[in-house]
């Protein structure tokens, strides 16, 4: 069994056994390539009442290399309007890029993104959203983000 499969198997067992943190739900994890989770920001935030879906894609070198994570944008789901989330669902977060560490997990990524949304005060698209969305690669891991804002 490959490391990525075993690791994801373990993460899945943990989720099934211990449950997920509040506001995070596993939508589907039918294989070890793609998972979907739903994300809700609880409490008094600008995203009150909104639910988002996250898509995780893993390659065989997970968790040494980071998963490709993005918000689902389709007929059912919308991406949150947030200065670090492009309207096509791509997320600019350092832990998905150069600050990724193999000790992070699907759930810890969700928790980080949840707190990223929770601390947002104003719904705004990232600067240059249209330009990025027009030329963005299908896989957000192929984008080199510059992480300039540590506050949100």
Partner 1 sequence: MSSNDEYSDEDIEYYDEDEDMEDIDDVGSASEMELDPLNDLNDPTRPQRKIFEVEYESLSQNDVEKLMRADIEYISSIFGVEMDTASLMLRWINWNKEKLIEKYMDNANAVLMASGITQADKAPERAHAGRSPSSSAHQSSIGPRRSSRRIAPEPPKSGKTKILERLTPPIEDGKFICPICFDDTQTETLNMTCFHKFCKSCWHAYVESKVRTEAESWISCMAEDCSLVAPDYFIEGVLKEDKATWDRFQELLVRHFVGAMPNLKYCPYPSCTYTVSCPVSVSKTSLSSTVPIVTCGASAAHKFCFGCHVDSDHRPVICAVAKMWLQKCRDDSETANWIKSNTKECSKCQSTIEKNGGCNHMTCKKCKYEFCWVCMGPWSEHGTSWYNCNRYDEKASVDARDAQSRSRASLERYLHYYNRWANHEQSKKLSVELYAKTEKKMEEMQITSELSWIEVQFMKKAVDEVIKCRTTLMWTYGMAYYLERGNEKELFEDNQRDLERAVEELSELIESPIDPEVIKTLRQKVTDKTVYVQKRNEIVLEDTAKGFMDRRWKWNVPVEGYD
Interface residues with partner 1 (CB under 8 A) are: 3, 6-7, 9-11, 14, 61, 63-65, 95, 99, 101-105, 107-108, 111-112
Helix (H) or strand (E) holding 57: strand 51-57
What whole-number distance in Å separates Cα of residue 138 and Cα of residue 116? 23
Q: Is the dihedral of CA 15, 18, 21, 25 positive or negative?
A: positive
CA 151 to the chain's CA centroid: 18
Do 96 and 69 meet the contact criterion of CB atoms below 8 Å apart? Answer: yes
* Phi, psi at 112, each rounded to 5°: -60, -45
The yes-or-no answer on residue 120 being catalytic is no
CB 120 to partner 1: min, Å: 18
Cβ at position 122, least distance to partner 1 in Å: 23
Residue tagged active-site, from 92, 93, 113, 117: 92
Which residue do the tokens 């600019």 mark?
Answer: 92
CB of 24 to partner 1, least distance (A): 12
Which are the catalytic amino acids?
Answer: 92
């Amino acid at each position: 069994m490959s490391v990525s499969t075993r690791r994801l198997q373990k993460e899945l067992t943990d989720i099934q056994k211990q449950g997920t943190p509040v506001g995070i739900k596993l939508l589907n994890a039918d294989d070890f390539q793609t998972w979907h989770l739903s994300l809700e920001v609880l409490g008094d935030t600008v995203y009150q009442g909104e639910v988002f879906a996250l898509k995780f894609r893993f390659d065989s070198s997970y968790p040494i290399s980071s998963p490709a994570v993005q918000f689902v944008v389709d007929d059912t789901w919308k991406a949150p309007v947030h200065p670090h989330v492009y309207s096509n669902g791509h997320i600019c977060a350092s832990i998905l890029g150069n600050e990724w560490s193999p000790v992070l997990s699907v759930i810890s990524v969700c928790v980080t993104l949840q707190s990223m949304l929770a601390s947002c005060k104003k719904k705004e698209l990232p600067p240059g959203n249209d330009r990025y969305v027009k030329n963005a690669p299908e896989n957000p891991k192929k984008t080199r983000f510059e992480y300039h804002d540590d506050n949100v």
